[in-house]
Structure 1
Amino acid sequence: MAEAVVSLAVTRLGDLLISTVQFPSQVRNQVEDIQTELTRMQCFLADADKRQGSDSRVRSWVSEIRDLAHQTEDVIEIYALQVEKKTSRFQEFSRSLDCIMCQCASLYKVGKEIDIIKYKLSSVTTSLQTYGVRALEGGDYSNSKKLERISYSHLIERDFVGMEEEIEILVSHLKNKRDVFEVISIWGMGGQGKTTLANKIYNHIEVRAHFQAFAWVCITQQFDREKVLKSIFKELVPGRREEISNMEDSELVRELYNLQKDTMCMIVVDDIWTLAAWECIRPAFPVGEETIGSKILLTTRIGSVAGVGSMYKLRSLTEKEGLLLLFRKAFPEGVDAKETRTVPEIEDIGRNMVQKCQGLPLAISTIGGILKGKVLRDWELINKDISQYLSRGEGLKEDEYFKVRQVLALSYDNLPLCMRHCFLYLGNFKEDEKIYVEELYLLWIAEGLVTSNDQTEGEMMLDVAERYMVEMVQRSLLEVDQRDVGESWSIFRTCRVHDLIRDMCLSKGKEENFLNLIDFQHRNGMLLSSESKSRRDFARILSIYSYDDSHRSSFDAFDENVIRQLRSLLFFRNYNGSRREWPGKILCLKKFKLLRVLMLTDFDFRNGTLLPLKRVGKLVYLKYLSFLNCSLEELPSSIGKLKNLQTLDLRVRGDINIPNVLWKLKQLKHLYLPLHKNRKLDKVKKLRLDGLNDLELIRYFDTTFCETNDLMKLRKLQVFHGRVIVKDLQELVSFISSNLLRHSTLDVKDSSLCSEDGNSRLVQLLECPFINSLWIDAHVGTLPKNYDHSHFSQFLTRIVMVKCEFEEDPMILLEKLPNLQTLQMANNSYLGKELVCSAMGFPQLKKLWLHRLPHLTTWRVDGGAMSNISSLQINKCLNLVMLPHGLRFLLVLKELLIVNMPETFKDRVRVIGGVEGEDFYKIRHIPYISI
């Protein structure tokens, strides 16, 4: 990971050199020399990073290199601050002799500091070469010592639990005598049981009886094509082992290929990591061609690899299955789960442990092994902190501990270098927290973890970050919640990391001095004291959560010299809902001169406590500033001095006065304005945004408070979320129509959307070509009299209607929208009694929610309507008599939620005592029904 740190340092030094700071040529040359030396050193670090785990000397050198890279950044950034400060003084006081002498002294000092760093870097490089650390290009680790995880077909898991349905499906699929050679893939995260399941299937009695020849091969990360193919061939035809060993490549591939066409072969390729590895061996398999029934089963953590065949995504164990597995491991002598109830507490504790392991078989098996032979008191102690037993190996035998760490670390080690810090950054978030991906992306970008080298023309850096996220999801490192189409530019809403993976992020992050986390609730992390510790022992990212006012005195233990080294300070959300005050003088912002990220959430800066923020304008390197959920009456005007700021989040609680200085933030790319109800402005002036030439994303723009004309000047804007009142509608629709935005969301809120020409404003919205999501909270009344639905937008995929008070059935109009996928009608949006979804209407609709329509009594769905709907929710439509008959034709409907409806309505669709309600036949085919 030192290689990644050095790469970041090289990039940041380059950014400084092309900044507006006027460096003397002497300093510029020295910085370029350092860049060159650091770049040269990266070649050695590719090898050194691999060796440091097993050699303390290399580990020390790697740590020193990381520290020297950070020192270089510090020296140059501090000098740049001094240069700017003195330049402004020269302009103010002219070039006095004192100023010139002061500049010379600073120049001499920075020169000496850089010379020392260059000497130390050169010395470390020499040491690495002397010790035999090689300069590797392109990450060639083939000679580095690494223990590979290898699976064997004969090692069958004795305590296999669950997955009976999966086994039945996969065995049936394998036995299916199709004429075409098939690839079947089992996909899941490390430790989820892919190999165990494949082994169970491979040795299944029906599979063994069905196929004629069998082969099992484990693909290590150090992939050897010839070795893999020969291994498969030798297992399929054991009598030709010596002959196969001497085969040339072309003969090997041809004969193996032909064997699978003429003989029913069952081949398992376990733990394949890359598409490149699959493409490398693919010519030896007759994929897609006629055979007599050969099959190949792959297991992988990588979604793109699983996509080469019929994909089976592995699920986690249920609580019942997990508890059974835990007891089998804890009581190997054969104690049945029921017998443990002689000590009822053990079952309760076991259930709690299984929940903490989140259904991951590896974690449950490991904890079960730790509990072997333990008494109730031990179970209670281990249950208090399962994570430390799994991440630190407490109570485990060395080989068991190695297995846990090895399985999880393989996914991390296999990540591309540019993504490793992004992955470790997830350690900043709380256990089981749903992390909002857009917020995460912006933090990655501000930290410099997303490289512009991966950016293509026309892309935002947010797009690059999303590609990183997709890659991690494909590698089964993260779980994500996807958004509805049209809801946002991103395909994801939130992500979540398994607790074991998070523990690995924290462990790796601390090893690499990448992050430090303080959790006041659990007293995790270390307070920042520099006693008996060197500079390199402290991370440059500090995350704090579960903090409240009672912990303010804890900050007095923080060492100021260490505080000054921080580059990121993050206070995460306080989930108890209380506001908190800024923690003491020790965190005075003037000490954070080099800070790049400042995230403040849930602080109360009212009633004279704004003082700590007065100096925010001094943080000239700041790229990310968030006041999410803070109580902040006035934004400091000094914020206009933050010339490097890229992200500003003003989603505060309560009213906030915003000085008209945001237009000065020339580097701003992402702006979150306060929610619509939380704004105040000076006098009658609207907020200027016309200077934000690099702005790419803006959320909560409001025509009441912001100059609509300024939008036309934001030429790089790609993501827009705005609120408009009716009198400004024409101007804003013109802006959206004339700009090729990636995504736009428009909230229309007013007393009425009616117009003299019969509702032409509604048609104007439906015809606007580049609105993706539309929220209408306004009276509409009658439907437009004249419209041409062929002009309706192709991009509008989501509509929410609140208090629209349609007097006529709005479905007549809305069902003509060609790509509408989500429709919500709520709070008296329709005043009539009957809704009709006609044949061929809503061709792309996937979600329909009917909420609080008190006048609705009848709903009709004609055959052919809503042919793609997958989710339906009916909530508090108290006079609706029954579900429409047409629901029985909606064969792709997967989910029905009936909420806050009268008992008489619910009884019609329930099954009570085995007796079906009179409307149950309409919904019998729906897999998930919640009443």
Structure 2
Amino acid sequence: MVAVEAVVSQLLKKLADPLISLYDVDDKVELLVIQFRVMQCFLKDADARQERNEGVKNWVLNVRDAAYEAEDVIDNFIYKVARLKRTGFMGCITRYACIFCELIARYKLSSDIERINNKFRVISESRSALRIKDISQEAAGTSSAGPSLQEWRLTSPLSQEPDFVGFENDLEILVDRLTNGELRRRVVSVVGMGGLGKTTLTKKVYNDSRVKAHFQSFAWISVSQEFGLRDLLLDFINCYMELSKEELKRVKKMNVSQLRNKISEYLEGKKYLMVVDDIWSNEAWDALKDAFPDVSNGSRIMLTTRNKDTALHADAASRPHHLRFLNNEESWKLFCKKVFLGGDGSCPQQFETLGREIVENCYGLPLAIIVIGGLLSRKEPWEWENVPKSIHWQLSTEKHPVYEILSLSYKDLPYYLKSCFLYLGSFPEDYEFQTKDLIRLWTAEGLLEERGEETFEEVGEDYLQELVRRSLVQVTSRRSSGRIKSCRVHDLLRDLSIAKAREGKFLEVHRGNVNNRPASGARRLAIHNNDLRTLEKLPESREFSTYLSKLTLALSFLDQDPMATLEKLENLRILRLFGNAYWGKEMACTAKGFPRLEFLHLEELGQLEEWKVAKGALPSLLRLRIFNCQFLKMLPEGLQHVTTLQKLQLQVMPVEFNKRLRKGKGEDWHKIRHIPSININEWRDCDDPHLRRDEMDVENGGTGVYFP
């Protein structure tokens, strides 16, 4: 489920716009704000219940739809009034006509807000009928994962792990870290995304003969995403401490502090190995750590976690051990062990090509290979034929074990990170995105919170770091300073983000067939053509959702100019075309086209030579970014008429293109001189020393362009 709380928070910011308060609708807006704030109080609790209660899930959907509707109403009003202010009312024949236009806009805003307020009264009544007011007590101490999944995830060191493949070197490293080194109680953490094999590896280490010979006492506890601390401590005592019935009765009457002391006294003086499996938060560690004494005798604690922060919080001096994905041969070996349980575990030669294709679609994730392997082990090899076509669907289907395991990481995100994670689904598969570009897009989308005096760049970097620490984003390169330069998302996690985004109407992604009708109500649309075949054109503008405000086109290789269709989308505010989304030479924006577009991003349009912008086109454009369009000869002539443009970014563009923009000398200087902030960067972060590294910045009304 999309982060509805983030949608509501974004709306509350818009309701505070000064333009709203100027138009005599304060009472109705105030009522709307109050109703949304009341809903916010219940959304976090409702989120914990909606997976198990269809009525609550529908209630959350109704809140989301009402928030989206209110957002559209506010955006529409602000746009119309701002347009009148910007044109100095020149669009009206007389001053009286202009006043009439304002009165109509004010009346429509008032009636629309009243209609939404009435809708919220109905939603509020249904909340009472669903007893959602009581869910704070019901949700407390209850996992957002269903009971069956929770039980499925609880682990035991005694269960056998026959499918151990690819972790042999990791096993040796971890055994060495447990049995050697300093005498202090060290915490050794195994970190990685869900399904990567953290628990499997830890069990193998726990049961290793060298480890068994080294320690005197052993214990294994599974914490999971939500846990009851007292019950967890009592379970430990029941399982590992030999107490009489009378002692157990006394123990059950103890409070949490007394239970911790009881365990600590039991472990005191023992050289112990304690495994804390599937720990999710710093708070969970802080609640448990006092039960594990440090008497400098070489005792060890092993943690498994998806969150690097939790690992470092437990022991900042101990380097977390990060698990990798399996390579092709390891994946194949694991697949064969799981599918061919009898005989020598080898695949019949005639089915090996098909089997390897299936394995390739599991992307080296052990859990995916094991689950799909278990599915195929019950089928004859000749029945495998349709599996490669459906495996993406199989792994992203709700209630599927892989989907639910990965979903836990999403459900654990704070609301402000959920929308940022869902947004990553708009990038093409295996796309490596630059940190700076991603943060700019998050900023343009309004997904970053304002935090004191921090810049949006600083907040965005913090958000990205947190997603990396939670194993939801993979770092592909870092700068010399250690800061993240570029990232990617594992394909299965990308499928998860797309599924969750579609469910919440946050984003719709179309792959391959661009002529499919886009889903109704989606706020964002991304069209990716993974088949790399040339497509003719987009659907007609009427086929798109009227609510569509953000659109990404990638690898679509369109023959016909997409602008002819896209400029008619009245609510479109953000448009990104990259990776040869358009394969033509000419592109044109006509008068009155793109009435609300605020951000336009053109990247790697490999055939584009000429872009035309008519006077009156792009009347709301604030930011324009053009990256690596090597055949584009110049900026469009009509750009000087786009007076709203605040920021222009040109990166990795041809030298001759940039020379036309020289201050006072270039043929195209008149097209950009009105833009307050200009950035021209030819070969940024390029490792080839023979390429030029020219960069120019003009901020706050500056008028200089520098070329050496």
Which TM-score bucket, shorter chain as reference? Answer: 0.7 to 0.9
1:119 alignment partner in structure 2:
118
User: Partners in 1 of 2:273 and 2:131 — Cα distance?
Assistant: 45
1:327 alignment partner in structure 2:
336
Q: 1:100 to 1:130 in 2, by over 3 A?
A: same
Specify the SS of the correspondent of 2:357: helix
Of the three residues 229, 241, 253, the one matched with 2:260 is 253
2:223 alignment partner in structure 1:
219
State the 1:146 CA deviation. Answer: 4.0
1:5 alignment partner in structure 2:
7
Q: 1:48 to 1:639 in 2, by over 3 A?
A: farther
Of the three residues 136, 154, 160, the one matched with 1:156 is 160
User: Partners in 1 of 2:33 and 2:648 — Cα distance?
Assistant: 28
Of the three residues 403, 410, 422, the one matched with 1:405 is 403
For residues 585-734 of structure 1, the aligned pairs below 5 Å read 585=564, 587-589=565-567, 591-601=568-578, 602=580, 609-612=586-589, 614-616=591-593, 618-620=594-596, 622-626=598-602, 628-629=604-605, 631-634=608-611, 636=613, 645-646=622-623, 648-649=625-626, 651-654=628-631, 655-657=633-635, 661=640, 664-665=643-644, 667-668=646-647, 672=651, 674-679=653-658, 680-681=660-661, 684=666, 687=669, 699-700=681-682, 711=698, 724-725=707-708
Q: 1:463 to 1:386 in 2, by over 3 A?
A: same
1:670-717 deviations in Å (ceiling 9; x for gaps) = 66584434333597467477766577x763499x9x998x847569x9
Are the equivalent residues in 2 in contact too, given 1:184–1:296 (CA < 8 A)? yes
1:317 alignment partner in structure 2:
326
State the 1:430 CA deviation. Answer: 2.5
State the 1:463 CA deviation. Answer: 2.2
Specify the SS of the correspondent of 2:156: coil
Specify the SS of the correspondent of 1:238: coil
Q: How many pairs align?
A: 676
Are the equivalent residues in 1 in contact too, given 2:49–2:139 (CA < 8 A)? no
Output the amino acid matched with 2:491: D
Q: Mark the runs of 5 or more structure 2 residues left unpaired by the alignment.
A: 685-691
2:296 alignment partner in structure 1:
290
1:551-571 deviations in Å (ceiling 9; x for gaps) = 445614x635x4432100111
Q: 1:245 to 1:56 in 2, by over 3 A?
A: closer
Specify the SS of the correspondent of 2:52: coil
Output the amino acid matched with 2:602: S
State the 1:386 CA deviation. Answer: 1.7
Are the equivalent residues in 2 in contact too, given 1:418–1:449 (CA < 8 A)? yes
For the pair 1:539 / 2:519, whether they are aligned, the reply is no
1:743 alignment partner in structure 2:
none
2:518 alignment partner in structure 1:
528
Are the equivalent residues in 2 in contact too, given 1:261–1:290 (CA < 8 A)? no
Of the three residues 373, 376, 401, the one matched with 2:381 is 376
User: Partners in 2 of 1:273 and 1:145 — Cα distance?
Assistant: 13
Q: Mark the runs of 5 or more structure 1 residues left unpaired by the alignment.
A: 394-400, 530-536, 726-931
User: Partners in 2 of 1:217 and 1:140 — Cα distance?
Assistant: 23
Instruction: Provide the TM-score with structure 1 as the length reference.
Output: 0.66
State the 1:549 CA deviation. Answer: 9.1
Output the amino acid matched with 1:208: K
State the 1:66 CA deviation. Answer: 1.5
User: Partners in 1 of 2:695 and 2:226 — Cα distance?
Assistant: 59
For residues 154-193 of structure 1, the aligned pairs below 5 Å read 154-176=158-180, 178-193=182-197
State the 1:235 CA deviation. Answer: 3.7
> RCO higher in 1 or 2 (8 Å CA, sep ≥ 6)?
2
For the pair 1:445 / 2:443, whether they are aligned, the reply is yes
User: Partners in 2 of 1:161 and 1:285 — Cα distance?
Assistant: 32
For residues 465-484 of structure 1, the aligned pairs below 5 Å read 465-484=460-479
Output the amino acid matched with 2:279: I
Output the amino acid matched with 1:323: W
Specify the SS of the correspondent of 1:555: coil
Q: 1:178 to 1:237 in 2, by over 3 A?
A: farther
State the 1:27 CA deviation. Answer: 3.3
2:687 alignment partner in structure 1:
none
Specify the SS of the correspondent of 1:231: helix
User: Partners in 1 of 2:239 and 2:563 — Cα distance?
Assistant: 69
State the 1:540 CA deviation. Answer: 1.0
Are the equivalent residues in 2 in contact too, given 1:642–1:665 (CA < 8 A)? yes
User: Partners in 1 of 2:425 and 2:186 — Cα distance?
Assistant: 40
State the 1:642 CA deviation. Answer: 5.2
Specify the SS of the correspondent of 1:25: coil
Q: 1:515 to 1:145 in 2, by over 3 A?
A: closer
User: Partners in 2 of 1:647 and 1:32 — Cα distance?
Assistant: 36
1:786 alignment partner in structure 2:
none
Q: Which has the higher mean CA deviation after the structures are superposed, 229-238 or 421-430?
A: 229-238
Q: 1:666 to 1:483 in 2, by over 3 A?
A: same
Q: 1:615 to 1:676 in 2, by over 3 A?
A: farther
Are the equivalent residues in 2 in contact too, given 1:331–1:372 (CA < 8 A)? yes
Specify the SS of the correspondent of 1:185: strand
1:170-208 deviations in Å (ceiling 9; x for gaps) = 223323374221111111110011111111222223323
User: Partners in 2 of 1:132 and 1:336 — Cα distance?
Assistant: 57
For the pair 1:273 / 2:280, whether they are aligned, the reply is yes
User: Partners in 2 of 1:318 and 1:550 — Cα distance?
Assistant: 33
User: Partners in 2 of 1:495 and 1:118 — Cα distance?
Assistant: 43
Output the amino acid matched with 1:569: L
State the 1:669 CA deviation. Answer: 8.2
User: Partners in 2 of 1:357 and 1:344 — Cα distance?
Assistant: 21
State the 1:298 CA deviation. Answer: 0.7
1:506 alignment partner in structure 2:
498
State the 1:286 CA deviation. Answer: 3.3
Specify the SS of the correspondent of 2:625: strand
State the 1:218 CA deviation. Answer: 0.6
Q: What is the aligned-residue RMSD (CA, Å)?
A: 3.7
Structure ID, larger Rg: 1
Specify the SS of the correspondent of 1:656: coil
Are the equivalent residues in 1 in contact too, given 2:189–2:302 (CA < 8 A)? yes
State the 1:476 CA deviation. Answer: 0.9
User: Partners in 1 of 2:434 and 2:590 — Cα distance?
Assistant: 26
1:485-537 deviations in Å (ceiling 9; x for gaps) = 16xxx8223322222212211211111111111122xx4895137xxxxxxx4
Q: Which has the higher mean CA deviation after the structures are superposed, 108-117 or 249-258?
A: 249-258
Of the three residues 60, 66, 75, the one matched with 1:62 is 60
State the 1:69 CA deviation. Answer: 1.3
Are the equivalent residues in 2 in contact too, given 1:446–1:646 (CA < 8 A)? no
User: Partners in 2 of 1:22 and 1:155 — Cα distance?
Assistant: 62
Specify the SS of the correspondent of 2:133: coil
Output the amino acid matched with 1:356: N
Specify the SS of the correspondent of 1:337: coil
User: Partners in 1 of 2:406 and 2:338 — Cα distance?
Assistant: 20
User: Partners in 2 of 1:416 and 1:86 — Cα distance?
Assistant: 39
Q: 1:360 to 1:286 in 2, by over 3 A?
A: same
1:796 alignment partner in structure 2:
none
1:582 alignment partner in structure 2:
561
User: Partners in 2 of 1:146 and 1:132 — Cα distance?
Assistant: 21
User: Partners in 1 of 2:649 and 2:321 — Cα distance?
Assistant: 39
Q: 1:588 to 1:634 in 2, by over 3 A?
A: closer
1:24-50 deviations in Å (ceiling 9; x for gaps) = 432354334323322221112222233
Are the equivalent residues in 2 in contact too, given 1:216–1:270 (CA < 8 A)? yes
Are the equivalent residues in 2 in contact too, given 1:517–1:525 (CA < 8 A)? no
Specify the SS of the correspondent of 1:134: helix
